A and B are shown apart, each in its own frame.
Chain A
Amino acid sequence: MDFVEHIAKSHLQNHGISIPFGQVLNATSFSESDPSCITITGPVAVKAQVPAGGRGKAGGVVLTKDAVGAVKQLLGTELGQHRVNEVLVEQQVDIATELYLAVTTDGSLGCPVLMFSAAGGIDVESESNRIYQLPLAIDCHPTREDLTDFLNHAACPNPVDVVADVANKLYAAYLDADAELLEINPLAITRRGDVVALDAKLVVDDSALDRQPVLTSLATHMPMSELETKAVEHSLRFIELGGDVGVLANGAGLTMTTMDAIVHHGGTPANFLEIGGDSYTLAVPALELVLANPNVKSLVVNFCGAFARCDVMTGGVVEAWKALQPTIPVFFSIHGTGMDEARAMVRSELELEPFESMDDAISSAVSAAAAGRNNQQPPTQPDETATSDH
């Protein structure tokens, strides 16, 4: 879960890290005709509050003395995928040096890592810039000596002891938020020698949202399509992809592999939709999601049962298929726990023959989608009883 700047900054401030004087405005609190709605005076930074990188380069940050004009200019605009519903107006800071400071979760090391660069700002990720890393023990703060040694090694300018103090507070804030990433970029040293977080980014672990109720209530949600929103309501993992071969599979790895195999055989997947575990009971909404996409010309059902049982999952799909009676062709590949019962069910209930190999099921679905594209009106089913005498 990504958080916008002002949420990340108030989290930093709660942990004793300095941030500029600022004020958040939205369509309700901002009035063009009443300049007193903005209490920050002098030169300001007006910043669109969207959870996306590259905001400054996209025009989402305006440095100005005309706060009212800049707020009016930014509020309600589109920035990347996001609509700007909030702006942050901040007093400008007299910057001497811009640093980079972050704590992130390192998947390779399996522990948090403190990251620092003496050259912060928007070009921190450029190849010539080196970001120094200090692995941290979970729940244990590094000693002041370790921190100052690390910062000195990374050529941190003075006041190093204040930056070390901010680093320690940042780590506490990271632990407190169940963060995947808590980043300050830039961390400014002002001409007066203060150390101030000018921009901040917070990403909280989705699996920890239940125990972060305060932060969760402040989250800005990523824009989702209508179907993706419906999927979330059913706790289904569904992503629209733009192709025409529908996918219904169990397990994340197998679902991705089904999509890969569709591309390998010359087709394009319409969606990622994982069904398995307890979600077999959701076969009807799952199938509805796939079929709601008018571009879908064929469907692959690919099950490989381990923990999830094929007979149970297939039973759900067969019932959903009978209830919804789709007109597109469906291709089954069923292996693993409960496969015999599942295959028998497809034969008896849908009068279809499951494929022995996954590749054959998928290449057949790709061919059927191609045929469906070339012939937008589905052909009427040949009347077999009438032709069988010839």
Chain B
Amino acid sequence: MIIDSNDRVVVAGLTGQQGSFWSQHMMDYGTNVVAGISASKAGTSHLGVPVFGSFGEAAEGGLDVAVLFVPAGAASQLACQAAEAGARTIVVLTEFIPVHDTMRMIAAANANGANLVGPNTAGTVTVGSAFAGFMPAFNDRIFSTGDVGIVSRSGSLGTLACMEFTRSGRGQSVFLGIGGDPVSGVSTRRALEALEAHEATKAVVLVGEIGGSKEEDAADFVAEMKKPVAAFIAGRASPPGKKMGHAGALIVGDKGTYTSKRDALTAAGATVVDVPSELPGALQ
């Protein structure tokens, strides 16, 4: 799920307003965008690359990473199509995809050996190489080349965490956005596994939030990691029973609380900080 500038990236929704804007930024940064997908504009070209009607057709020219800038109604079918066409990583940026559709995307990704990143993610950045999604990888006050790998459910908070490491002078190696939905493809745990194995990453930051059990599920692996881990969990001041913006940020009964997550990660040896600005200090 960590992409580089050799990966052949196909963008669904390339010709749309957001798809065009961010694909151009991705290309300028060094991402190897080779094609786009659009049912209505198949056969044309856009941003200098060909537009196909399906991932199957696009795959003949090479397909490693699929990126979806499409509405919720279209995302599930396209993600399944990308998995069947052989994409190794499928990044789904779309918010408000029905959870049953997310489970259909996960099943298709698993059946074809692909990683589904998202949905409702801001994407992934391999600093200085390539990015997929809508993180401001090109903004040098937020991203700078370094050795810290960051996993985050939230895009806005992930951006803040990245910025703290640029300000501290240490920089980042990789940002992996796993998304804010209650059900996601790549879990916090699998993102941490990828960072533990990633050579340029020497330290790891986990940015979590209340709701679900992604952080608790990852704690066993955190305990096994050789690289140091610092974590920030958003939502300590949030009341239970209310959906805090992200569909996944919801405390039900005593499940998904701040305390449960902090305790699980602390017991696993991670340093859990109170505010994001303390993250760089926790890894020194």
Contact = CB atoms under 8 A, between A and B. Distances in A.
A306 B213 contact: no
Nearest to B189: A108
B275 A335 contact: no
Contact of A252 (B134, B154, B275): B154
6 contacts: A107-B184, A207-B99, A239-B239, A264-B275, A272-B244, A304-B156
Contact of B210 (A105, A254, A256): A256
A138 B100 contact: yes
A205 interface: yes
A337 interface: yes
Contact of A306 (B155, B210, B275): B155
A260 B235 contact: yes
A225 to B, nearest CB: 12
B157 A305 contact: no
Chain B interface bracket (under 10, 10 to 19, 20 to 34, 35 or more): 35 or more
A262 B157 contact: no
Given A249-B156, A257-B157, A357-B277, 20 more contacts: A111-B106, A138-B100, A178-B98, A207-B96, A207-B98, A250-B156, A251-B157, A252-B209, A253-B180, A253-B246, A254-B156, A256-B209, A256-B238, A256-B245, A257-B160, A306-B122, A306-B159, A307-B122, A335-B159, A336-B142
B172 to A, nearest CB: 14
Nearest to B236: A260
B8 interface: no
B212 interface: yes
The 3 lowest CB-CB distance pairs between A and B, nearest first, are A253-B154, A251-B156, A252-B245
A324 interface: no
A182 interface: no
Interface of A: 105, 107-108, 110-112, 137-139, 175, 178, 180, 205-208, 211, 237, 239, 241, 249-257, 259-264, 269, 272, 274, 276, 304-308, 335-337, 339, 357-359
B97 interface: yes
Contacts of B4: none
Nearest to B108: A138
A111 B102 CA distance: 9
B276 interface: yes
B248 interface: yes
A178 B96 CA distance: 13
Contacts of B72: 207
A241 B239 contact: yes
A163 to B, nearest CB: 24
Nearest to B242: A239
Interface string B185-225: 10100000000000000000001011011100100000000
A205 B98 contact: yes
Contact of A307 (B106, B134, B142, B274): B134
A336 B136 contact: yes
B146 interface: no
B271 to A, nearest CB: 16
Contacts of B135: 306
Contacts of B103: 105, 110-112, 138
B79 to A, nearest CB: 13
Contact of B234 (A178, A260, A304, A305): A260
B244 to A, nearest CB: 5
A256 B139 contact: no
A255 B244 contact: yes
B209 A107 contact: no
A32 B163 CA distance: 67
A269 B207 contact: no
Given A211-B98, A336-B142, A263 B236 contact: yes
B254 to A, nearest CB: 10
Contacts of A259: 237-238
Contacts of B277: 357-359
B53 interface: no
Contacts of B102: 110
Interface string B79-116: 00000000000000000111110111011000000000
B114 to A, nearest CB: 13
Given A139-B104, A178-B100, A259-B238, A304 B160 contact: yes
A255 B243 CA distance: 12
Given A107-B248, A108-B217, A138-B100, A256 B237 contact: yes
B35 to A, nearest CB: 23
Interface in B246-267: 246-249
B227 interface: no
B246 A252 contact: yes
B183 interface: yes
Given A107-B183, A110-B183, A337-B136, A252 B244 contact: yes
Best-surrounded residue of A207, A237, A263 (most CB of chain B within 10 A): A207
A269 B244 CA distance: 14
A175 B103 CA distance: 11
A336 B239 CA distance: 28
